[in-house]
Structure 1
Amino acid sequence: MNIILFGPPGAGKGTQAKKLQDEYNIPHLSTGDIFRAAIKNKTPLGVKVKSILDSGELVPDETVVDLVADELKKEKYKDGYILDGFPRTVVQAKAFDEFLNENDDELDAFISLTVPEEELIKRILSRGEDRSDDTEEKIKTRLEVYREETQPVMNYYEKQGKVQKIDGLGSIDEIFNGIKEVLN
């Protein structure tokens, strides 16, 4: 089962992806985790990504697509995966569709977590990840970038009839049960 978990920063994608991974025994691939590891290890990609994120911008499409495609070629993803934080632009979504076609594969579910902006800001400020872009001003910038560049990805997948919207408010388990309902 190939799943995209979609939503703005702070929607709970990472939390729900971990629960899905445990429930369905398929790996969770978070571009954010890959980038954070690269930043922590000060790899060339990490240094480049850190400066981009520090300015509140998104990592270029080509860099992200190459990173995800390379990762998904690994054996552990052959029976499915949960993508979190990818695709973030329509260019990435189209490139991902090409990747799926080339590998005779398909997307099984596109799950969008919907959460009001005030709640997103509150969640991000309270999660304490010590990210340099976790200030209220930079969070608002990230949410604006999300609306402009990432929201259209959902429209792209809606045209394919793949989008399932889940209310991202409530307990972690309530949200998870809503996701499981659409997957089963």
Structure 2
Amino acid sequence: MALQLMLMGLPGAGKGTQAEQIVDEYKIPHISTGDIFRAAIKNQTPMGVEAKKYIDKGELVPDDVVNGIVKERLGQDDVQNGYMLDGFPRNMVQARALKEFSAELGQPLNCVINIHVDPESLMERLTGRFICKNCGATYHKVFNPTKVEGTCDRCGGHEFFQRDDDKPETVENRLKVNIEMNTPLLDFYREEGILHEVNGNQPIEKVFADIKQILDAIK
């Protein structure tokens, strides 16, 4: 059976790392909305032309156009043996549309994997990064601290800064928005009977082993 898969997880849950391993292992195309948007615009597909009108004005691309671009992509030859969606659907309108058009194309979603990490751990992961002001070396309070506290290993500098993206209030807000967005989707796929939760609070290899066990059972 072909793997028609969607990958979910909050920022910092390790989705990108696992996505790479899944694609390498199962040789299925990684369909990320950012990539297919760029390709559709570059190739001037009907939906790409439509999307560009909104992007050029700095506006959000409406759901029907996003759905159209994903539908175009799922109609291409390389997805006959499966695919992995990343970053789509982002809301219930998109989820319902995907259910409809993926079934039409004979490519219905048959597995949703959610890499679950509790928000407290994600706060620690995402707010721990700090950078040397002098040479730009990057560290992490928990996972990659400086050898001597307050001194850069590379240049010996003592001044560090945090990017705005890594500041606690920014990260907290980002997680809150993502939780609100993901919760209805998780409920929807749980009801569909295709949701699998994987514990992301484990070493990378163990997370992938758990994912592999789920995917091998579907194949």
Instruction: Calculate the TM-score normalised by the size of structure 1.
Output: 0.78
Cα 1:62–1:133 change in 2 (3 A) is: farther
Partners of 1:8 and 1:142 in 2: CA distance: 9
More helix by share: 1
Q: Flag structure 1 segments of 5+ consecutive residues without an equivalent.
A: 53-57
| In 2, Cα distance between equivalents of 1:63 and 1:138 | 29
Q: CA RMSD in A?
A: 3.2
**3-state DSSP class of the match of 1:9?**
coil
Maintained 8 Å contact 2:54/2:61: no
Alignment partner of 2:55 out of 18, 33, 48: 48
Report SS of the residue matched to 1:112: strand
In structure 1, C-alpha distance between the alignment counterparts of 2:73 and 2:62, rounded to whole Å: 17
Question: In the alignment, is residue 23 of structure 1 matched against residue 21 of structure 2?
Answer: no
SS across alignment from 2:64: helix
* Whole-angstrom distance in 2 between the partners of 1:163 and 1:71: 23
* In the alignment, structure 1 residue 138 sits paired with structure 2 residue 140: no
- How many residues end up aligned between the 2 structures? 172
Q: Confirm whether residue 110 of structure 1 aligns to residue 141 of structure 2.
A: no
The answer to whether the 8 A contact 1:65-1:96 is kept is yes
Q: Which runs of 5+ in 2 are unaligned?
A: 41-48, 131-137, 139-162
**CA distance in 1 between partners of 2:64 and 2:36 (Å):** 15
1:167 and 2:203 are equivalent in the alignment: no
CA drift of 1:124 comes to 4.0
State the identity %: 41
Q: What is the CA deviation profile of residues 4-36 of structure 1, one whole-angstrom value per residue up to 9, with x for unaligned ones?
A: 111112212221111011111111112244568
Structure with higher RCO (Cα < 8 A, 6+ apart): 1
